[in-house]
Chains A and B, each alone.
Chain A
Amino acid sequence: MARMKFLCDAERCIECNACTVACKNEHEVPWGITRRRVVTINDGRPGERSISVACMHCSDAPCIAVCPVDCIYQTEDGVVLHSKDLCIGCGYCFYACPFGAPQYPQAGNYGSRGKMDKCTFCNGGPEEDHSDAEFQKYGRNRLAEGKLPLCAEMCSTKALLAGDGEKVSDIYRERVVARGFGSGAWGWGTAYQIKGGRI
């Protein structure tokens, strides 16, 4: 397997927000945090497009580069995960992320942000797979069960694709050829373009 990637087909997304709800429900994400959200441009006007946005699990993730305590890491499948035990809630990753993925529960005193929370590609965290600690901190680990992220599996129009980057891009390419046009794989270049010799 090459590496895990997300792709949102803006021509198919109907802004139903099922991905957002599925994610919140599957991982029991606390109030105030939305790991995935749907963004619409030109709402109600010609050229309206919606895209589902979450952590894109970038190839050369800027969050990893800026984290002062190195709590963010990449798995061998290219999934960007983090350790809430190490996170100090500084917020640097939030400023570095081009997709606004890192979220904070804002539960601490004196304006502290609390531990960072973000999409895990349904791959849990560094805790033992399927343990209570993993579920409490990061949510369910579907990847370890051989299942794809629920947001993509739930998508009724199959706008949101997840999985091996090569397969996902093949699916998108077939669609573009079949319909004769494409509005571009949004965020794909930002997240997965070659930087420093890495894809």
Chain B
Amino acid sequence: MKTGKLIITLACLVAVGASLGACREDEQGRVLLYDKGVYLGKPDTPVSKQARRALLIRIQRQNELTGPQGGGGPGSGTPPDVRPPASTPLDALRERARRQSGN
């Protein structure tokens, strides 16, 4: 009887030990121990100097008139370019419009 209880106790201890031993960060693949107020995730890649220069130009030109590029992109300062109607592929557009109707 005593031997049986001892075996059960030992088995329980082994099971608990094995389950707790599996609680390692490298096995879990995630952060388990947190340092209060400290970000422990993957480090961020800073913006490169080249991209930073481009950003500064874009920011300064944000208030200018929109150029042919459209949106808030660096404008040329000239009025928006309007495509002449002759260059519009009207036939292709009509074909697309016809297909759109499903007829």
Residues of chain A touching chain B, judged by Cβ–Cβ distance below 8 Å, are: 1, 68-73, 75-77, 81, 83, 85-86, 123, 125-129, 143-148, 150, 152-155, 158, 161-164, 167-168, 171, 174-175
Instruction: Judge whether B56 and A155 touch: CB under 8 Å.
Output: no
- Chain B residue, CB-CB nearest to A152: B72
Interface size on B, residues (CB 8 A): 32
CB-based contact A168/B59 at 8 Å = yes
Which residues from A are CB-within-8-Å of B63? Answer: 158, 161, 171, 174-175
Q: Are B42 and A127 touching (Cβ within 8 A)? A: yes
Residues of A within 8 A of B89 (CB): none
- Residues of chain A contacted by B50 (CB below 8 angstroms): 146
Instruction: Convert B39-68 into 0s and 1s, putting 1 for each residue whose CB lies closer than 8 angstroms to a CB of A.
Output: 111111111101111111011101100000
**Residue A83 contacts which of B42, B47, B62, B73 (CB distance < 8 angstroms)?**
B42
Q: Which of B41, B51, B62 touches A144 (beta carbons < 8 Å)?
A: B51
Q: Is the CB of A1 within 8 A of B56?
A: yes
Q: Which residues of chain A come closer than 8 Å to B41, judged between CB atoms? A: 71, 73, 83, 85-86, 126
Q: A143-B55, A167-B59 are in contact. Are A70 and B72 (CB under 8 A)?
A: no
Q: Could you tell me if A148 and B72 are in contact, using CB atoms closer than 8 angstroms?
A: yes
Contact between B46 and A76, CB atoms less than 8 A apart: yes
Which residues does chain A contribute within 8 Å of B52, judged by CB atoms? 1, 146
The smallest beta-carbon distance between A165 and chain B, in angstroms, is 10
Q: Contact check, A77 vs B47: say whether CB atoms are below 8 A apart.
A: yes
Query: Would B38 and A70 count as touching, CB distance under 8 A?
Result: yes
> How many angstroms between the C-alpha atoms of A168 and B61 in the bound complex?
11
A73 CA to B35 CA, complexed, in Å: 14
The answer to whether A73 and B72 touch (CB under 8 A), given A144-B51, A146-B53, A164-B56, is no
Knowing A75-B46, A144-B45, say if A69 contacts B34 (CB, 8 Å).
yes
Contact across chains for A126 and B53 when beta carbons are under 8 A apart = no
